[in-house]
């Protein structure tokens, strides 16, 4: 079994990951947080794009479950000598990892690797494709805070066009019964998307998930003056006041302070779930690694 997209997960897998994640979240706050279910297994991280949260949380998750973790230093690897992704995948596979966690700038790259290796592959973000473990941790964060996902209104705002986070979240949260609203500058909306203003999307929402402007994926500079994006499309205190009572702010990180979100609002522990999302990231990735390696450990499931 691989975890390549939200589509690749059954309803049962999603339910199991979300409920196990809550258990791992509590476990991670306990004094002794070493589990040994992945003893003897090797988890290989191959990140071809930068990462802080995703990479470290996969490393910590695998360590807490007792696995041996190896993180490929892409900058120091033979990729820099021109080795193809396919040859790299065959090479990694020959070292017999039990799971490969991959982030790549090209949508579909993790699926290509999955076709060439004998172990589970987890997509840790593929270009503008998907970021399924981010969506799972966002859903688990909403579940923990609101006690439910069904019936929540979630506004996802900003650079929707380039956001794998938005794509995976829209698919997962709608599947779980949330009302998902997408909004952003017209030039950063996917082709054919119905335009909703950010004000309309935020109005009455239970959660407002802001997205980073993905400058590395923009062909032309936005050309906006400092502060203009925030005023027109970002989450200011004034705009957030339109949200429903008890509404919470989310962001997958990294944050562009003063661009898509007011920095003080991001830091407001009463209103912001951003650091809970990070904490939940470790828990969700523990649940995913556990599920995906179950077959290797002779348990039910297949890997």
Residues that bind ligand ASP (CB under 6 A): 125, 131, 164-165, 212, 214, 252-253
Query: Which CB, 135 or 180, lies closer to ligand ASP?
Result: 135
Smallest separation (angstroms) from ligand ASP to the CB of 52: 8
List all residues 6 or more positions away from 66 whose beta carbon is below 8 Å from its beta carbon. Answer: 34, 35, 36, 37, 38, 39, 41
Choose between 212 and 293: whose C-beta lies nearer to ligand ASP.
212
Residue of this chain nearest to ligand ASP (CB atom): 212
- Rounded CA gap, 85 and 82, in Å? 9
- Based on CB atoms, which residue is closest to ligand ASP, 97 or 132? 132
Q: CB nearer to ligand ASP: give 66 or 253.
A: 253
What number of residues does the chain have? 303
Least separation in angstroms between CB 158 and ligand ASP: 9
Q: 211 and 252 in contact (C-beta within 8 Å)?
A: yes
CB of 211 to ligand ASP, least distance (A): 6
Q: For residue 228, what is the enclosing H or E element?
A: helix 228-233
CB 198 within 8 A of CB 157: yes
* Closest approach of ligand ASP to the CB of residue 3, in Å: 15
User: Smallest gap, in angstroms, from Cβ of residue 188 to ligand ASP?
Assistant: 12
Rank residues 134 and 293 by Cβ distance to ligand ASP and give the closer one. Answer: 134
289 three-state secondary structure = helix
| Largest pairwise CA distance in the chain | 58
Q: How far is the CB of 203 from ligand ASP (least distance, A)?
A: 24
Query: Least distance to ligand ASP from the beta carbon of 165, Å?
Result: 5
Radius of gyration over every alpha carbon of the chain, rounded to an integer in angstroms: 19
Query: For residues 2 and 162, which CB has a smaller minimum distance to ligand ASP in the complex?
Result: 162
d(CA 246, CA 251): 17
Dihedral of the CA atoms 61, 77, 134, 60 (nearest 10)? 10
Identify which of residues 41 and 171 has a Cβ nearer to ligand ASP in the complex.
171
- Which helix (H) or strand (E) segment holds residue 290: the answer is helix 274-292
Are 58 and 281 contacting, i.e. CB atoms less than 8 angstroms apart? no
Instruction: Give the integer Cα–Cα distance in Å for 184 and 282.
Output: 29
């Amino acid at each position: 079994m691989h975890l390549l997209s939200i589509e690749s997960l059954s309803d049962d897998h999603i339910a199991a990951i979300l409920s196990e994640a809550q258990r791992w979240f509590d476990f991670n706050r306990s004094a002794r947080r070493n589990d040994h279910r992945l003893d003897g297994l090797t988890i290989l991280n191959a990140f071809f794009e930068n990462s802080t949260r995703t990479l470290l949380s996969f490393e910590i998750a695998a360590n807490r479950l007792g696995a041996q973790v190896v993180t490929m230093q892409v900058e120091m690897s033979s990729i820099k000598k021109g080795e193809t992704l396919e040859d790299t995948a065959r090479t990694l596979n020959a070292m017999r990892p039990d799971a490969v966690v991959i982030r790549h700038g090209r949508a579909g790259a993790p699926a290509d690797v999955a076709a060439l290796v004998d172990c589970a592959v987890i997509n840790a973000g593929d270009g503008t494709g998907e970021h399924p473990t981010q969506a799972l941790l966002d859903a688990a964060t909403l579940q923990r805070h609101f006690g439910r996902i069904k019936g929540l209104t979630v506004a996802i705002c900003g650079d929707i066009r380039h956001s794998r986070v938005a794509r995976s979240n829209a698919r997962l949260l709608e599947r779980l019964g949330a009302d998902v609203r997408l909004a952003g500058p017209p030039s950063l909306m996917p082709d054919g998307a119905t335009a909703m203003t950010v004000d309309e999307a935020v109005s009455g929402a239970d959660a407002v998930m802001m997205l980073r402007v993905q400058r590395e994926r923009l062909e032309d500079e936005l050309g906006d003056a400092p502060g203009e994006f925030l005023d027109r499309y970002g989450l200011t205190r004034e705009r957030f006041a339109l949200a429903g009572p008890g509404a919470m702010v989310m962001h997958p990180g990294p944050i562009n302070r003063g661009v898509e979100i007011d920095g003080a609002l991001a830091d407001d522990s009463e209103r912001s779930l951003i650091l809970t999302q990070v904490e939940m990231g470790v828990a969700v990735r523990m649940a995913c690694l556990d599920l995906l390696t179950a077959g290797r450990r002779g348990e039910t499931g297949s890997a």
